[in-house]
Amino acid sequence: MITPDDVAASLGRNDGGFGREQSSYYDIPLLQKPHWGWEIEWYFFVGGIASGSAILAALSDVLGDPADASIVRLGRYAATLGSAVSGVLLIKDLGRPERFLNMMRIVKLKSPMSVGVYALTAFSTFSGLMLTRQAKADGLVPFDPTGWVPRLPLNLAWAASAALLGSYTGVLIGATAIPVWFSGSRHIPAIFVCSATSTACAFALAVLTLVPGTKSSAVRKLERLEIVAAALELALLRDYRKRSGKLGDALFAGRIGQTLRQTTERFGIIAPIGLNLPGALERGEHIGRAARVRTLVAAGLTLAGGLALRQCLLRAGKVSAADPRAYINHQELGRTSGS
């Protein structure tokens, strides 16, 4: 039996008035949602690891602790491979991939995407140069064309481009009209910096735990940095949730919110912190088998959490774009930063 409630509901959100104020247009989304899919989710992830690896490598190279040589080597290979994969993913995502070079028609600092294009270009170039240096050191190539460049400036430039690459994507999505994103415009770039750091550390830990010849001091440094970055990331996520109010629902509520809470926060941040803490506090030379297993597990969880973070963020953007009331009422629904 249909009741007047059913009829009223079935008239659509735009209930034909009947003396009623209408608050949206049939609940049809007002904004357009970005088309970005798995290519961009994985690009954020791989790019973050690549840039973090580069920073770790640059850092270790400059500070010159020979125990960290494996970090330097891994970083240089990972950064180069990562930048290549990033390039492929980005080009594949384009609606007209054959026109990817049009990205370099202009330099537009006002567009985070233009900034990112040049960050990636610079980063790939420097990564390639550092890779050549490493390859010479490893005896794979006879000649290193960068040999004449002093260590510090090259590493600084490389690290700067890496830092930008690993974080500009946060500015890119924060500076859009999508409520869940713009309400986090002061959080997401910082979260990406931290996540790039922690996932790079996790990646390095995973690889270096498995290959022989890694010094325990290097492992411990990575574990410590990972804990700091992850803890900061968690704090930033919590603050983002609080400040975004109802605008943050797309990310922090529902299935996406569940995934974020479990995969990223619990398993991707808190658990690895716990697993890494004993190792981080240790000072001895020896890393036992149990410790290795802990490290590997922690690394895997961190990486999974990092991928999940980016997937949740990007998918939340689509959900948020589809909610017209969030955008219509954004001034009341969240203490948003920015304009």
Partner 1 sequence: MPGLGTLYGRGGATTFLMDLVNSDLIIIQGSNFAENHPVGFRFVTEAKKRGATVVHIDPRFTRTSALADHYLPIRSGTDIAFTGGLINYVLQHEAYFKEYVETFTNASYLVDPAFRDTEELAGLFSGFQPDSGTYDPASWTYERDDVGRPKKDPTLQHPRCVINVMKRHFARYTPEMIESVCGTPPDAYRRLCELVATNGGRERTMVYCYAMGWAQHTVGVQNIRAAATLTTLMGSTGRPGGGIMALRGHASIQGSTDIATLYDLLPGYIKAPSLERGESTFEQWKAKQTMPTGWWANWPKYAVSQMKAWFGDAATAENGWCFDYLPKITGDHSHQPMFFTMKDGGIEGMLLWGQNPAVGGQNAALQRAAMGQLKWLVCQDLFETESAAFWKREGVDPTTIGTEVFFMPAASVAEKAGTFTNTQRLVQFHEKAVDPPDDAHSDLAFAYGLTKRLKALYRDSTNPLDRPILDITLDYESDDPHERAREEPDVEKIMREINGYTIADGVQLKSFTDLKDDGSTAAGAWVYTGYFPAPGENLTRRRTGDDWVSLEWAWAWPANRRNLYNRASADADGKPWSERKKYVWWDDEAKKWTGYDVPDFIATKPPSFRAADGARGMDAHDGTAPFMLQEYGVAELFGVQGIVDGPLPTHYEPRESPVRNALYPDVQVNPVLKQWLRRDNPYHEVADERYPFVLTTYRVTEHHLSGAMTRWSPWLAELQPELFCEISPELAVERNIRNREWVTITTARGEIEARALVTGRMKPFKLGPKRFVHQIGVPMHFGYQGEVTGDAANVLVPLVADPNVSIHEAKAFTCDVRPGRRGAAHEGPTWLPVPLDERTPLGRPERSGAVAPPPHETVAIDREIVDAATIMSASRQVHDQGERRP
Partner 2 sequence: MSVDETNGFFTDVTLCIGCKACEVACKQWNELPADGYGLTGNSYDNTTHLGGNTWRHVAFVEQMDRTTPAESRWMMLSDVCKHCTNAGCMEACPTGSIVRNEFGNVFVQPEICNGCGYCVPSCPFGVVAIQPQSGIAEKCTLCYDRQKDGIEPACAKACPTDSITFGPVVELRKKAEARVATLLARGQHVEIYGTKEQMGAVGDLNAFFLLPDRPEVFNLPPNPVLPSTYQPGAYASLAAAIGVVALASYAIFRRRG
Q: Which residue has the tokens 């330099």?
A: 107
Please give the Cα distance from 309 to 90 (Å, whole number).
19
Residue whose CB is less far from partner 2, 135 or 312: 312
> 10 Å Cβ neighbour count for 289?
7
Residue 30 interacting with partner 2 (CB under 8 A): yes
Residue 7 interacting with partner 1 (CB under 8 A): yes
- Shortest distance, CB of residue 262 to partner 2, whole angstroms? 24
List b or e across 103-136, with b for residues whose CB sees 16 or more CB atoms inside 10 angstroms: beeeeeeeebebbbbbbbbbbbebbbbbbbbbbb
Distances (CA, A) of 128 to 17, 28, 124, 196, 317: 64, 48, 6, 20, 34
- The token pair that represents 239 in the structure block: 């603050």
Site residues (CB under 8 A) for partner 1, limited to 215-254? none
Residue 28 interacting with partner 1 (CB under 8 A): no
Please give the Cα distance from 191 to 170 (Å, whole number).
8
Please give the Cα distance from 135 to 40 (Å, whole number).
30
Please list the alpha-helical segments (H only) found in 138-187.
151-174, 179-182
Site residues (CB under 8 A) for partner 1, limited to 300-329? 325, 328-329
Residue 194 interacting with partner 2 (CB under 8 A): yes
At residue 329, the 3 state secondary structure works out as: coil
Residue 187 interacting with partner 2 (CB under 8 A): yes
Q: Which of 43, 158, 182, 252 binds partner 2 (CB under 8 A)?
A: 182
Residue whose CB is less far from partner 1, 17 or 147: 17
Largest CA distance in the chain: 85
Which of the stretches 96-104, 128-136, 290-298, 301-309 binds partner 2 when contact is defined by CB under 8 A?
96-104
Residue 4 interacting with partner 1 (CB under 8 A): yes
Please give the Cα distance from 7 to 285 (Å, whole number).
74
Residue 9 interacting with partner 1 (CB under 8 A): yes
- Shortest distance, CB of residue 260 to partner 1, whole angstroms? 24
C-beta separation of 188 from 236 below 8 A: no
Which of the stretches 8-16, 42-50, 262-270, 302-310 binds partner 1 when contact is defined by CB under 8 A?
8-16
Q: Which helix (H) or strand (E) segment is 49 a member of?
A: helix 38-63
Residue whose CB is less far from partner 2, 83 or 132: 83
Residue whose CB is less far from partner 2, 188 or 307: 188
- Shortest distance, CB of residue 328 to partner 1, whole angstroms? 7
Q: Which residue type sits at 287?
A: I
Residue 47 interacting with partner 2 (CB under 8 A): no
Site residues (CB under 8 A) for partner 2, limited to 137-176? 163, 167-168, 170-176
Q: Which residue has the tokens 């297993």?
A: 293
Q: How many residues bind partner 2 (CB under 8 A)?
A: 87
Please give the Cα distance from 185 to 231 (Å, whole number).
20
C-beta separation of 269 from 233 below 8 A: yes
- 197 binds, options partner 2, partner 1, none, Cβ within 5 to 8 A by partner type: partner 2
Residue whose CB is less far from partner 1, 17 or 338: 17
Residue 33 interacting with partner 2 (CB under 8 A): yes
- 219 binds, options partner 1, partner 2, none, Cβ within 5 to 8 A by partner type: none
Residues that bind partner 1 (CB under 8 A): 1-13, 15-21, 23-24, 325, 328-329
